Amino acid sequence: MLADSHIHLFENGYQDSGKNTLETYLPLIKEFSISRALVIGYEGEPWASGNNAYIANLKKSNSWISPVAFLKASDLSLENLESLADQGFVGISLYLFSNEDVGILQNIDDGIWQLLVDKKWLISVNSKGDHWLLWMEILKRNPTLTLLISHIGLITIPTKSTSEDEIANSLTAIASLMNFSNVYLKLSGFYALEPSDSVHADQRLEPYIRYVVEKFSSDRLIWGSDFPLSLDKVSFRQTFENLNYIEPLKLENILEDNLQRLLR
């Protein structure tokens, strides 16, 4: 069985494609025995407006859905969090790619982070590079926050062969965050990490995945498909089959048990 830590569902499809993402995902649930999915809200572009309300409503008739609400950094307030709690969300989703947003979160009152701790909510974050260092400051003050790092931190995979020291260097910020006991790393978005040299893409990415599995606790690694975006590049099966070299018990944790335990 699988538990998917990163999917998106849009009422009119991704980028208003008109494709019903729920109808596309439902057969996958049956085919791959998916027990739970963390549905990541996204309203960062006009076409995605209203996505929070949409996925909250889907939760009412789909018990496998655990919805996470999109918030802009500037909208992170006690009032907004309380409103989202009433709608059945299990956490928030932040996309942090600008210095402006990092600056806003650096000045967030710790009372907001404490509310997230008290509610046992997840914080799913898409970010990259030095912007991850922000969470070191926040976690030092609020070490029990539950942070989910999406897509292996969106590290850059070079097209040339890479040494273990170079891999370790690219993951320095992520490794520091993983020292906190409630930080989880999503093994997701592999298609977005692959270098432009598509002929040898898996060859370039695999050493990074192997390094992560070896160096970080397998109890805090969680797989995610990044549906439906990933399906433009790979099949659904390909979002996890390149993890098959992991020993069975660890793989079971990564593919299902860790997320199930986290959501309990």
Cα 222 to Cα 74: distance, rounded to the nearest angstrom: 28
Residue 250 structural domain: 2-263
CA distance 175 to 145: 16
User: pLDDT at position 157, please?
Assistant: 85
How many domains does one find in the chain? 1
Positive/negative CA dihedral, 27, 30, 33, 37: positive
152 close to 186: Cβ distance less than 8 angstroms: yes
pLDDT tens track for 10-56: 999 999 999 999 999 999 999 999 999 999 999 999 999 999 999 99
Q: What is the pLDDT of residues 161-186, one digit of tens each?
A: 789 999 999 999 999 999 999 999 99
Biggest CA pair distance of the chain = 50
Q: Give pLDDT < 70 ranges for the chain.
A: 195-202
Cα–Cα dist 5/112, whole Å:
24
Task: Quote the pLDDT of residue 196.
Answer: 64
CATH code assigned at 119: 3.20.20.140
Q: How far is Cα 211 from Cα 20, in angstroms, rounded to an integer?
A: 37
The C-alpha atoms of residue 100 and residue 105 are separated, in whole angstroms, by: 9
- The model's pTM: 0.96
pLDDT value of position 156: 86
Query: What are the helix (H) ranges across the chain?
Result: 21-32, 51-59, 78-85, 99-106, 110-118, 134-141, 164-170, 172-177, 190-193, 201-215, 248-252, 258-263
Any idea which residue has 């009433």 for tokens? 86
